[in-house]
């Protein structure tokens, strides 16, 4: 006879049934599938490796075309009746403009107004979001016409701003020490970062810098545990508090954090990676269209200011301290100037020429865009050509007669002494490259040159101030002495080839290790192949 269930019994019955059903759904993957529809995971992050940077990264179609820079200024438009408004931040890179403007606000002693006939107002907006709000509003509506960015960050935000038709119009500095990686005592080189907690502000120049250094040192973005913060200062604080093993941040916070943490030190900075973080001005499309002549004069006036800073850095430091909020002492201002390099007119021309400098606007933009896409930060890509308009820069040539506009004419920025210093300090990073040489020979064939072009030239140019130790390694087949000689000869031919790209021979320290430094066992074909390699060690000066 069926018995009536008590309420509790009925409840238990239902619970048991539901549990069984739930387990079945889980077991056969139905739950996972439902979760995939109802609450999908974030778009999977791709792997970024050493091949994603530099000329080795495949350029999207349509970007190989020659520059559109030969054209004259856009016709039409009118002269602006108000000051050009420019968003800047607390940073030494603005010394050129501050010097040219003799301060932040328009004034009669401004070179901009005296020699170039434009009024310029610089606005210090340290909050990133607010500076973007101001750019979106535009100079006519209480915002700004021109804003600061870095090439890498610009590649990230271009999509969101594209409706404004923004264009990069000039470079005002290279970060030279402004960005750095602080690490704890256990980390001596990039390879040691594997599996460590690394803090940085996500999708910022810090993030880009970290990815570059990691990948060149043989790691990928998946080899570290990222701790993302919303600002660079937070990243430095987290490191200082001992919550992470390493942090990427900017000057001065990152140096303070490295100093204040027991055993903390700086692993790498843009003092070595001199040509990676490029600060640029981005102007609104409507501003450029309506007031092209003002834009041209702004660019030229700013670059005149760069010349003034170079002639009189002390005055620039005084002006910087007076103008920017947050510079406490004159020494701070001098330190800020030391963290940047202000490119002049000729260097700007070379930077905005795809065939100009080895590392240029286009190469950085494409690398950055490629990387942000791979790690899922952007989904649409734009040709680099579309994001830049160099006509205002090019049309300023009349103000800079005699400026060299090609790299070949300009003199090298860094001096290298022979022999290179053999310090006991570990190299910042070691990039391992397999270069094929015919048996017994030390001649580079076309394939080998292509490998160097894609893997090493960009590295050598980006780490502009650092020495590069080129060490040849062989397997253990054959006599040791002969192998040592051969590996040295091969390393030397690598260095000779790199010289043809415009590098100073003294930048390279050539070493032949022969079979003495194997990275794998010589007992197998695979192991021996791994040992036949060329290591490029980046060594800080």
Partner 1 sequence: MDVRQPITRHQARVLAAVGVLTFFALWCVLSYANIVPTVILPTPTEVLRAFPVLHFQEALVRSIGGSLYRVYMGFLLAAVVAIPLGLLMGTFPPVKSFFVPLLDPLRFLPISALVPLFIVWFGIDEMQKIIFLFVGIVVYLLPLVVEAVENVDDVYLQTATTLGASKGQLIRHVLIPGSLPAIGEALRVMNGIGWTYVILAEVINARYGLGYLITAAGKRSNVDQIFALVLVILVIGVVTDWIIRMVNKQLFAWNE
Interface with partner 1 includes 156 (CB under 8 A)? Answer: yes
The reply to whether 259 sits near partner 1 by the rule CB under 8 A is: no
Question: Which range, of 275-283, 347-355, 371-379, 421-429, touches partner 1 by CB under 8 A?
Answer: 371-379
SS (H, E, C) 244-291: CCEEEEECCHHHHHHHHCCCCEEEEECCCCCCCCEEEEEECHHHHHHC
Do residues 340 and 309 lie in contact, with contact meaning Cβ atoms separated by under 8 Å? no
Q: Which of residues 403-462 bind partner 1 (CB under 8 A)?
A: none
Identified binder of partner 1 from the candidate list 377, 469, 528, 533, rule CB under 8 A: 377
Distances in Å between the Cα of 309 and the Cα atoms of 38, 95, 300, 337, 414 are 58, 7, 14, 10, 19
Q: How far apart are CA 126 and CA 339, in angstroms?
A: 18
Q: How far apart are CA 54 and CA 51, in angstroms?
A: 8
Q: Are strands 246-250 and 197-201 parallel, antiparallel or unpaired?
A: parallel
Please state the closest distance from residue 168 (CB atom) to partner 1, in A. 15
Q: How far apart are CA 536 and CA 431, in angstroms?
A: 5
For partner 1, which is the closer residue by CB, 261 or 507?
261
Contact between 381 and partner 1 (CB under 8 A)? Answer: no
**Binding track over 105-124 against partner 1, x by CB under 8 A:** --------------------
Q: Which CB atom, from 244 or from 316, has the smaller least distance to partner 1? A: 244
Is residue 229 a contact residue for partner 1 (CB under 8 A)? yes
Contact at 8 Å (CB) between 388 and 354? no
The side-by-side arrangement of strands in the sheet containing 429-433 is: 429-433, 533-539, 467-473, 508-514
The yes or no reply on residue 373 touching partner 1 (CB under 8 A) is: no
| Min dist. Cβ of residue 241 to partner 1 (A) | 4
163: contact with partner 1 by CB under 8 A: yes
Decide: is 31 part of the binding site for partner 1 (CB under 8 A).
Answer: no
How far apart are CB 133 and partner 1 at their closest, in Å? 8
Q: Say whether residue 157 binds partner 1 (CB under 8 A).
A: yes
202 is an interface residue for partner 1 by CB under 8 A: yes
Q: Assess 136 for contact with partner 1 (CB under 8 A).
A: yes
Residue 241 touching partner 1 (CB under 8 A): yes
Measured from the CB atom, the residue of 113 and 206 that comes closer to partner 1 is 206
Residue 160 as a binder of partner 1 (CB under 8 A): the answer is: yes
Its sign, for the CA torsion 374, 376, 380, 383, is: negative
Closer of 165 and 313 to partner 1 (Cβ): 165
Nearer to partner 1, 134 or 350 (CB): 134
Q: Pull the structure tokens for residue 71.
A: 């054209």
At 130, which helix (H) or strand (E)? helix 128-137
Give the Cα separation of 213 and 50 in Å (integer). Answer: 9
User: Judged by CB under 8 A, does residue 231 bind partner 1?
Assistant: yes
Residue 398 in the binding site for partner 1 (CB under 8 A): no
Name which position in 2, 7, 81, 129 contacts partner 1 (CB under 8 A): 129
Name the one range near partner 1 by CB under 8 A: 161-169, 336-344, 480-488, 531-539. Answer: 161-169
Considering the complex, state which of residue 229 and residue 321 has its C-beta at the smaller distance from partner 1: 229
User: For partner 1, which residue of 30, 71, 137, 477 counts as binding (CB under 8 A)?
Assistant: 137
Examine residue 384 and tell whether it contacts partner 1 (CB under 8 A).
no
CB of 376 to partner 1, least distance (A): 7
d(CA 291, CA 88): 21
Smallest CA-to-CA distance from 157 within 137, 176, 129, 178 is with: 129
Distance CA 178, CA 249 (A): 9
DSSP one-letter string for 279-327: EEEEE-HHHHHH-HHHHHHHHHHHHHHHHHHHH-HHHHHHHHHHHSTT-
d(CA 16, CA 26): 15
Total number of residues that touch partner 1 (CB under 8 A): 39
> Does residue 252 have a cis peptide bond before it, meaning omega lies within 30 degrees of 0?
yes
CB 197, min distance to partner 1, A: 9
Would you tell me how many other CB atoms lie within 10 Å of the CB of residue 411?
A: 6
* Residue 203 in contact with partner 1, rule: CB under 8 A: yes
Using CB under 8 A as the binding rule, whether residue 263 contacts partner 1 is answered as: no
**Of 60, 77, 159, 252, which one interacts with partner 1 (CB under 8 A)?**
159
Smallest gap, in angstroms, from Cβ of residue 135 to partner 1? 9
Q: Measured from the CB atom, is 140 or 504 closer to partner 1?
A: 140
Shortest spacing between CB 146 and partner 1, in angstroms: 16
Answer yes or no whether residue 379 interacts with partner 1 by CB under 8 A: yes
CB of 154 vs partner 1, minimal distance in Å: 11
Is residue 480 within 8 Å of residue 390, measured between CB atoms?
A: no
Query: Which residue's CB is nearer to partner 1, number 40 or number 108?
Result: 40
Task: By CB under 8 A, tell whether 370 contacts partner 1.
Answer: no
Q: How far apart are CA 59 and CA 442, in angstroms?
A: 31
- Residue 6 or 379: the one with the smaller Cβ distance to partner 1 is 379
Quote the least distance from Cβ 401 to partner 1, whole Å: 39
Residue 189 Cβ vs partner 1, minimum distance, rounded to whole Å: 25
**Nearest residue to 315 (alpha-carbon basis) of 98, 110, 107:** 98
Contact 169, 281 (CB under 8 A): yes
Find the part of the chain contacting partner 1 (CB under 8 A) among 9-17, 67-75, 240-248, 299-307.
240-248
The Cβ of residue 123 has, within 10 Å, a number of other Cβ atoms equal to 16
**Is the previous residue joined to 419 through a cis bond, with omega within 30 degrees of 0?**
yes
Residues near partner 1 (CB under 8 A) are 38-43, 128-129, 132-133, 136-138, 156-157, 159-161, 163-164, 199, 202-204, 227-231, 234, 237-238, 241, 243-244, 376-379
């Amino acid at each position: 006879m069926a018995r009536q269930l008590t309420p509790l019994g009925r409840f238990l019955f239902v619970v048991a049934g539901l549990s069984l059903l739930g387990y079945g759904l889980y077991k056969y993957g139905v739950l996972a599938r439902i979760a995939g529809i109802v609450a999908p995971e974030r778009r999977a992050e791709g792997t970024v490796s050493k091949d994603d940077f530099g000329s080795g990264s495949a350029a999207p179609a349509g970007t190989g075309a020659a520059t559109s820079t030969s054209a004259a200024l856009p016709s039409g438009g009118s002269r602006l009746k108000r000051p050009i408004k420019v968003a800047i931040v607390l940073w030494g890179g603005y010394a050129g403009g501050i010097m040219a403007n003799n301060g932040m606000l328009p004034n009669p002693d401004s070179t901009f107004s005296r020699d170039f006939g434009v009024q310029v107002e610089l606005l210090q907006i340290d909050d990133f979001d607010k500076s973007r709000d101001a750019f979106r509003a535009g100079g006519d509506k209480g915002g700004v016409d021109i804003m600061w960015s870095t090439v890498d960050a610009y590649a990230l935000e271009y999509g969101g701003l594209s409706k404004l038709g923004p264009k990069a119009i000039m470079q005002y500095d290279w970060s030279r020490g402004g960005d750095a990686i602080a690490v704890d005592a256990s980390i001596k080189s990039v390879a040691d970062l594997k599996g460590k907690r690394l803090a940085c502000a996500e999708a910022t120049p810090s993030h880009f810098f970290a990815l570059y250094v990691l990948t060149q040192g043989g790691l990928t973005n998946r080899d570290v545990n990222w701790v993302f913060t919303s600002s660079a200062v937070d990243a430095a604080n987290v490191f200082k508090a001992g919550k992470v093993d390493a942090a990427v941040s900017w000057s001065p916070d990152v140096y303070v954090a490295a100093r204040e943490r027991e055993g903390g030190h700086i692993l790498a900075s843009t003092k070595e990676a001199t040509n990676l973080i490029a600060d640029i001005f981005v102007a609104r499309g409507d501003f450029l269209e309506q007031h092209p002549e003002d834009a041209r004069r702004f660019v030229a006036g700013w670059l005149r200011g760069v010349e003034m800073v170079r002639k009189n850095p002390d005055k620039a430091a005084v002006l910087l301290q007076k103008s920017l909020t947050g510079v406490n002492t004159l020494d701070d201002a001098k330190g800020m100037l030391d963290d940047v390099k202000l490119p002049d007119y000729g260097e700007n021309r070379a930077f905005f020429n795809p065939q100009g400098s080895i590392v240029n606007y286009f190469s950085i933009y494409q690398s950055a865009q490629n990387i942000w896409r791979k790690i899922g930060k952007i989904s649409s890509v734009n040709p680099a050509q579309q994001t830049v308009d160099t006509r205002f820069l090019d049309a300023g040539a009349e103000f800079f007669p005699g400026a060299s506009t090609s790299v070949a004419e300009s003199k090298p920025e860094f001096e290298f002494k022979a022999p290179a210093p053999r310090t006991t300090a570990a190299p910042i990073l070691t990039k391992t490259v397999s270069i094929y040489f015919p048996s017994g020979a030390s001649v580079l064939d076309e394939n080998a040159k292509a490998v160097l072009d894609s893997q090493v030239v960009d590295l050598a140019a980006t780490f502009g101030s650092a020495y590069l130790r080129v060490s040849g390694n062989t397997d253990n087949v054959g006599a040791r002495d002969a192998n040592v000689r051969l590996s040295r000869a091969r390393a030397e031919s690598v260095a000779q080839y790199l010289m043809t790209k415009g590098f100073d021979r003294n930048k390279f320290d050539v070493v032949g290790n022969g079979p003495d430094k194997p990275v794998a066992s010589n007992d197998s074909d695979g192991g021996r192949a791994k040992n036949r390699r060329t290591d490029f060690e980046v060594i800080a000066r």
